[in-house]
Amino acid sequence: MEKHDNSEIVVDVKELYVSYRTFKGYVKVLNGVNLQVRKGEKISIVGETGCGKTTTVNAIAQILPRNAKIDGGEIFFNGKDEFKMSSKEIKNLRSRGISVIFQDPIASLNPVFTIGTQMREVIRYSGIEGAFNKEVQQEKAINALKETSLPDPERILESYPFQLSGGMRQRICIAMALATPRDLVIADEPTTNLDVTIQDQVLKTLKKRVEDKGSALILITHSLGVAREVADRIYVMYAGNMVETASSKELFREALHPYTQGLMSCIPKLSGGGIAEGIPGHIPNYLDPPKGCRFAPRCKKALDICHTKKPPMFEPIKEHYVACFLYN
Amino acid sequence: MQEEILKVTGLKKYFPVGGKENKNKFVKAIDGIDFSLRRGETLGLVGESGSGKSTTAYTVIGMYSVTEGSITFKGKDISMVTSKRPLSLKKEIQMVFQDPGTSLNPQRTVYKILELPLKIHKICPPDEYPYEIARLMRMVELPLEYMHKYPGSLGGGEKQMVAIARALATRPSIIVLDEPTSALDVSVQAKIINMLLRLQKEMNLSYLFITHDLSLMRNVAHRVAIMYLGKIAEIAPTESFFRNPQHPYTQMLLSSIPVVSEEEEKYKPKRIHSQGEIPSPVNVPKGCSFNTRCPFVMEICKEVDPQMLEIKEGHSVRCHLHSK
């Protein structure tokens, strides 16, 4: 799809199909996802509830639940095929390659251990120089907290998660994710539970830390505004497909896919002017998804071909890809 | 200008803190607020979590008793809890909750859910229930075949529509909306908001609209009040509020909103950045409660709590920067 030097691509997802086994049958969630993240790049996956954002990144981090089934496709991490990795390589992938920041810091921090214990554990398993030395661990942990602009790191290391506020907990998760060098950081809706002023602070911290460390970032969010603040490039996802991808500047200059256009018009604007009617219909039933383009049943501009054939990615504007037959 | 139908003056709601050593400690969830609501108007109540906006809503509909102050509805005092409120007043103020998943009974069909308020308030004779329920469902644009479905088989947006239909069943004059769309996706939110605006026009309803989303507020409210630690920091007509925000907290909130266009960026105050977090309402800072986060803090702010001051018609702000 994109022509770039292969050596600088950190994650390359090719035509990934994932389904979940349920008592009603297989729920076909991912429908041929393509995604590339280059070294040091900040990308964002935007989409509504149930579109498969989390499934995509869980597949990349190899933390899919047991009832998930990979029906096809490949994921390359630093050029290595993830589905052919040995269990030891997968362990290394999780402890050194990728770190994940989850939506709910209360659930991702263990309530019965202090922050310090949990941070030192992350550092111990990272395999950096002196990882098993207690003093090195402590020093690294304190540094990580300081760099995330958390006040009084020594006290925080001795606290339990419930003693800290929501914003602080999420910043600790960021500190933990970036305490040791990583090639890729995945942030799964890191600010959804936070207030807008705290969200602003956490996003700024996240962006700065990722830039300092030179890690690549995949930020999952349902808010186009959040994606615009952080990401260099945005992927818009709908019902298990990437429908549009472009640099964030380009995407906000001109959205091409009817779904992206609909989404943009629904967002309440600070400058007023009312809200558009929304997008009619529902997200499709994944047990029996539409044959062609999955957005076709809701699309006002749908052509005949949309109902029978899945659209490939077109490039109507340079570096701006859209999966829609209108741009054929 | 239409008549004021709801008036809240000096409203206070304190919750006792548990434990022996905390006997005389209180969480001051609301600490003296005044506002009024006119017929056909939407008043937006904005604030971070812990600012007391939901407590205000619950006190207005009578779920909590009032510690101090008064609430009047069309001149009648209604500052008593729901159990003591006359039925005729209860039906005038209805509420829509944030999470339709938990506010609808999962064991009842949509029909049963909508039937209950009709029965209790004797809106129509029992043989007309099906027609009335069908009318309500058409009003919120729900397909009639949903009548015998259970909430569990409906989507989030549809559940919220049932909740709105239930609120409309008693033909109220005020609906309290407590974050009605914050659990929903933007495309569903757009649908619900447009429906609420249409219903308001058709039935001349007043909304007390609670949200933390300022950009949404810009598009639905006639007037906006911003709350911080149980007090109103600024209250103004929407246009004036967004064009000319006066309180440093308002400016901080506006500057933190992630927006999607350059045009919107112009509305964000540039010289202020968000810092700090909202303190616990048990230990409210002395003086102005915002002084721990305010970039323009002065000596007086740490000692004296500022008073509400009207700087323009309808635009009031509670800040020492304006009290000279």
Q: What is the pLDDT of residues A129-173, one digit of tens each?
A: 788 888 999 999 999 998 888 888 999 999 999 988 888 898 899
Distance of CA A218 to the CA centre of its chain: 4
Interface residue B282 vs chain A (CB under 8 A): no
pLDDT for residue B151? 92
Verify whether the Cβ–Cβ distance B261 to A199 is below 8 Å: no
Verify whether the Cβ–Cβ distance A200 to B255 is below 8 Å: yes
Instruction: Determine which of B54, B160, B187 to mutate to test the interface with A (most A C-beta atoms within 10 Å).
Output: B187
With contact defined as beta carbons under 8 Å apart, do B237 and B315 qualify?
Answer: yes
| Whole-number Å distance between alpha carbons of B78 and A139 | 60
| Whole-number Å distance between alpha carbons of A294 and B158 | 22
Q: What is the pLDDT of residues A290-323, one digit of tens each?
A: 989 999 999 989 999 999 999 999 999 999 999 9
**Residue A63 Cα, gap to closest chain B Cα (Å):** 26
Interface residue A277 vs chain B (CB under 8 A): yes
H or E element in which residue A71 lies: strand A68-77
Chain B hits for A229, Cβ within 8 Å: 258
- Give the contacts of B99 (CB within 8 A, at least 6 positions apart): B183
**Residue A197 Cα, gap to closest chain B Cα (Å):** 5
pLDDT for residue A49? 86
| Whole-number Å distance between alpha carbons of A98 and A115 | 20
Predicted TM-score of the model (pTM): 0.89
| Whole-number Å distance between alpha carbons of B119 and B107 | 18
| Whole-number Å distance between alpha carbons of A316 and A318 | 7
Distance of CA A120 to the CA centre of its chain: 25
By C-alpha distance, the chain B residue nearest A271 is: B264
Interface residue A225 vs chain B (CB under 8 A): yes
Interface residue A149 vs chain B (CB under 8 A): no
Name residue, tokens 């899945």: A310
Verify whether the Cβ–Cβ distance A195 to B278 is below 8 Å: yes
pLDDT over 60 at A6, yes or no: no
| Whole-number Å distance between alpha carbons of A296 and A259 | 10
Strand-pair partners of B15? B27
With contact defined as beta carbons under 8 Å apart, do A57 and A218 qualify?
Answer: yes
Interface residue B141 vs chain A (CB under 8 A): no
- Name the band, by pLDDT with cuts 50, 70 and 90, for residue A207: very high
Interface residue A167 vs chain B (CB under 8 A): yes
Q: What is the pLDDT of residues B59-68, one digit of tens each?
A: 998 889 899 9
Classify residue B284 as exposed, middle or buried by CB count within 10 Å of its CB (0-12, 13-18, 19+).
middle
By C-alpha distance, the chain B residue nearest A276 is: B190
Give, for all 324 residues of chain B, the pLDDT tens digit.
Answer: 578 899 999 999 998 887 777 777 888 889 999 999 999 999 999 988 888 888 999 999 888 989 999 999 998 888 888 788 888 888 899 999 988 889 999 999 999 999 999 999 999 999 999 999 999 999 998 999 999 999 988 888 899 999 999 999 999 999 999 999 988 888 889 999 999 999 999 999 999 999 988 999 999 999 999 999 999 999 999 999 999 999 999 999 999 999 888 888 888 887 788 888 888 887 888 899 999 999 999 999 999 999 999 998 889 999 999 876
pLDDT over 70 at A70, yes or no: yes
% of chain A surpassing 90 pLDDT? 62
Name residue, tokens 């890191």: A190
Residue in A49, A223, A275 nearest the CB of B190: A275
pLDDT over 80 at A1, yes or no: no
A166-177 and A134-147 helices, crossing angle to 10°: 120
**Residue B119 Cα, gap to closest chain A Cα (Å):** 33
pLDDT for residue B50? 82
With contact defined as beta carbons under 8 Å apart, do A29 and A19 qualify?
Answer: yes
A115-125 and A166-177 helices, crossing angle to 10°: 20
**Residue B98 Cα, gap to closest chain A Cα (Å):** 14
With contact defined as beta carbons under 8 Å apart, do B246 and B252 qualify?
Answer: no
SS3 A26: strand
Interface residue B219 vs chain A (CB under 8 A): yes
Verify whether the Cβ–Cβ distance B267 to A270 is below 8 Å: yes
Chain A hits for B242, Cβ within 8 Å: 270, 272
| Whole-number Å distance between alpha carbons of A87 and B123 | 66
Residue in A165, A222, A271 nearest the CB of B264: A271
**Residue B238 Cα, gap to closest chain A Cα (Å):** 10
pLDDT over 60 at A3, yes or no: no
Verify whether the Cβ–Cβ distance B190 to A271 is below 8 Å: no
Strand A42-46 versus strand B315-317 pairing type: unpaired
Interface residue A309 vs chain B (CB under 8 A): no
With contact defined as beta carbons under 8 Å apart, do A69 and A26 qualify?
Answer: yes
Verify whether the Cβ–Cβ distance B257 to A48 is below 8 Å: no
Q: What is the pLDDT of residues A222-248, one digit of tens each?
A: 999 999 999 999 999 999 999 999 999
Interface residue A273 vs chain B (CB under 8 A): yes
H or E element in which residue A238 lies: strand A233-238
- DSSP E strand boundaries for B155-230: 174-178, 206-211, 223-228
Strands of the sheet containing A98-101, edge to edge, are: A98-101, A184-188, A216-221, A42-46, A233-238, A241-247, A320-322, A314-317
Strand A233-238 versus strand A241-247 pairing type: antiparallel
pLDDT for residue B1? 57
| Whole-number Å distance between alpha carbons of A131 and A120 | 9
The amino acid present at A305, given as its one-letter code, is: I
Per-chain mean pLDDT for chain A: 90
